[in-house]
Amino acid sequence: MSDRAFRSLESLEKSASTARVLNLLQVARDYRLTPDWVDRPLFRTPELNACLLLKHRLRRNEYDIFRVPRQVATKIVVPIDRWDLKTGGRYVFVGQINYERTMAQVFGVTADHPDFIVLGMIDRLPSLDPFLLRERLSRAGLNPAPCYFQISDADLQDMLDFVKLEISPLVHLSLRRSSVGPRSIEGLALKILSNAPGDESDALRSALNLRADQYQECVFCWRGLLYYKWVMVSVLKRVAGVLDSIRLIKPIGPLDMISREYIVRSRKVLRTQIARTCLDVQNTLQIYDLAYADLTKQGNPAEFKGFLLAAPSLFMRLGEQLGAIQHIVSFSSYRFGAKAAPPGSEELMDILMDFEVSLRIRDVDAV
């Protein structure tokens, strides 16, 4: 489908969050001349390997595109002109009606094609965060180049202050100086977030007592845990308001006894599930905090290094949980906000049911 009225792709590139958009076009621009990008693509189909993937909140007029009701879908957007995003793009939703036929006609990708299977995996993820995505693909035996698992520029800027505060104790330890300037801290923060090499990185590798072949993997895991901590801080600031909106929202129109009972029950269940999920995430992140404290306060790198090397096993659960909470926070703000029209009873039940399902532990190994 063609969409020239699609919200400016140029604007989307600049403001996109890591969890919502996977900008393969930017990856292609930055890495197309590197052997890794050529030899280890995320998608084998050139058009797909230079598209934008979005976790898109469906509008009411888009619900009938799918046979099964859903609130969020994965949108594949292929720019009309890669070098002029203002021209818009063609798009298709993963799993929409006639999806298989559309993919075969437009991209030559049939249901047994590897790209079709990868898109199905991505669609089942609650977000596009790179740590969750890489771990999901790895469990399926897929190993795309590292350039596909970056944090977006928009999130990098927002994360920087948080990460500088987080790593300050380690900068002092790794550079072995009693007084470390803000440039040293910011420089290392940027290198951790962007995975760029440098002298500070060598000092960090020495402080962690890591071999060169271990270092890149550990930094990736550390970046993931810092990302999840930053996301959790943002989520906790908004979750109380979301719980209130779920509790207070009233549907318009007739409401039979069964619907009323379901809405009352679902509100209670969601409040409990959201609070429990937030606590579970905090408890998992506390394991990281303890290992990090052992390094920075006791000068013992062994536990922290071991934790980082084992960290990918945590990404699936953390990513699923935080992705579900982010979805609930984002969609509640959009649909239950002050300027939004009140939902009807059927729509409200659909939304509450979607929230409940998103909080359930998924079978992440299912293909």
**Domain boundary residue, one of 130, 150, 181:** 130
160 assigned to some structural domain: no
> For the chain, what is the domain count?
2
List pLDDT tens digits, range 220-229.
888 889 999 9
- The verdict on 349 and 255 lying in the same domain is yes
Q: What percent of the chain has pLDDT over 90?
A: 36
For residue 35, pLDDT beyond 80? yes
46: amino acid identity, one letter: P
Where are the strands (E) in 103-156, listed by range? none
**Domain boundary residue, one of 101, 130, 159:** 130
- The verdict on 125 and 232 lying in the same domain is no
| Partners of 55 in beta bridges | 74
- The verdict on 30 and 123 lying in the same domain is yes
Question: With 0-12 CB in 10 A as exposed, 13-18 as middle and 19+ as buried, what is 196?
Answer: exposed
pTM given for the model: 0.80
d(CA 185, CA 166) in angstroms, rounded, equals 10
List pLDDT tens digits, range 169-207.
877 766 555 455 666 677 777 777 765 545 455 666 776
Asked whether the beta carbons of 245 and 332 are under 8 A apart, the reply is yes
List pLDDT tens digits, range 78-110.
887 666 666 667 899 999 999 999 999 999 999
- The verdict on 15 and 126 lying in the same domain is yes
- The verdict on 325 and 213 lying in the same domain is yes
197 assigned to some structural domain: no
147 assigned to some structural domain: no
DSSP state of 50: G
Nearest partner of 278 among 330, 221, 240, judged by Cα = 240
Where are the strands (E) in 82-189, listed by range? 89-93
154 assigned to some structural domain: no
Question: Roughly what angle, to the nearest 10 degrees, separates helices 130-139 and 212-248?
Answer: 110
**Domain boundary residue, one of 76, 110, 130:** 130
Asked whether the beta carbons of 129 and 123 are under 8 A apart, the reply is no
Nearest partner of 14 among 153, 127, 149, judged by Cα = 153
Asked whether the beta carbons of 312 and 221 are under 8 A apart, the reply is yes
365 assigned to some structural domain: no
135 assigned to some structural domain: no
Quickly tell me which residue has 């290992």 as its tokens.
Answer: 291
Beta strand pairing call for 52-57 and 72-79:
antiparallel
245 assigned to some structural domain: yes
334 assigned to some structural domain: yes
Which residues lie closer than 8 Å to 123 by C-beta, 6 or more apart?
73, 74, 94, 95
Q: What is the mean pLDDT of the chain?
A: 84
Range of the domain at 122: 2-130
